[in-house]
């Protein structure tokens, strides 16, 4: 029966005793019955095994810690990116909605003002025409009723047409503005969602690799 005798080669470098203990060699192959230092050899072998196991455990622990830290950092970064993207999207949507509401309110106010002005003008014109007709009929023998009626009808028709055109233009403008705003919001949301998906896919791919 034979055993290996181990000679420790301590190099004295700055690598440290743990690394130096790993540099060992087999010096000789000696029969057990002619060697009185069997216990010493066993102790040295046990020490070397313990050192190797300790180094391996330390390396495994370091790798595990590094992996855990990397995973935590990746998760934190993904969460931060998602939160920032959500905040930006929400803010953009809120701003666009507020702008649309403001535009609609302004347009409605303008339409109301225009309609009120048109109604006032029509009423004033009708009153003036009626007064003129009454006065002329009272002080003259001529009866301009037909002319007055024609004038009033023409004025009313013109006013109605103008009001309808204005209302139609305003409605078209409002619809166009709303459509443009909605399209912009949808495009922004789609772009943001696509960017978030791309970022998540890239991060997950890199992590898996």
Q: Which DSSP letter does residue 11 get?
A: -
Q: Is residue 11 part of a domain?
A: no
- DSSP element (H, E) containing 3: strand 2-8
Q: Is residue 12 part of a domain?
A: no
Q: Is residue 5 part of a domain?
A: no
Q: Is residue 25 part of a domain?
A: no
| Neighbouring-strand partners of residue 205 | none
Overall pTM surpassing 0.85 (yes/no): no
Q: Is residue 122 part of a domain?
A: yes
> What are the tens digits of pLDDT across the range 51-62?
888 888 888 888
> What are the tens digits of pLDDT across the range 112-137?
777 777 777 777 777 777 777 667 66
| Neighbouring-strand partners of residue 31 | 2
- Structural domain including 139 reads 37-208
Q: Is residue 185 part of a domain?
A: yes
Domain count, the chain: 1
Q: Are 24 and 6 in contact (CB under 8 A)?
A: yes
Q: Is residue 19 part of a domain?
A: no
Q: Is residue 95 part of a domain?
A: yes
Distance CA 209, CA 202 (A): 10
């Amino acid at each position: 029966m034979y055993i290996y005798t181990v000679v420790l080669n301590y190099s004295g470098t700055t690598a440290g005793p743990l690394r130096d203990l790993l540099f060992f060699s087999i010096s000789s192959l000696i029969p057990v019955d002619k060697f009185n230092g069997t216990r010493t050899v066993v102790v040295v072998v046990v020490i070397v095994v313990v050192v190797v196991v300790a180094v391996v455990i330390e390396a495994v622990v370091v790798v595990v810690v590094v992996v855990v830290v990397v995973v935590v950092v990746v998760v934190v970064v993904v969460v931060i990116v998602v939160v920032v993207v959500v905040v930006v999207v929400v803010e953009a949507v809120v701003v666009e909605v507020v702008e649309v509401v403001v535009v609609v309110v302004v347009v409605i106010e303008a339409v109301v003002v225009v309609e009120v002005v048109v109604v006032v003008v029509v009423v004033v014109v009708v009153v003036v025409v009626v007064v003129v007709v009454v006065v002329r009929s009272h002080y003259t023998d001529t009866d301009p009723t037909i002319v007055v009626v024609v004038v009033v009808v023409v004025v009313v028709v013109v006013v109605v047409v103008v009001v309808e055109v204005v209302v139609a233009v305003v409605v078209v403008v409002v619809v166009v503005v709303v459509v443009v705003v909605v399209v912009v919001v949808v495009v922004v949301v789609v772009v943001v969602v696509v960017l978030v998906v791309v970022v998540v896919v890239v991060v997950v791919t890199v992590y898996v690799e």
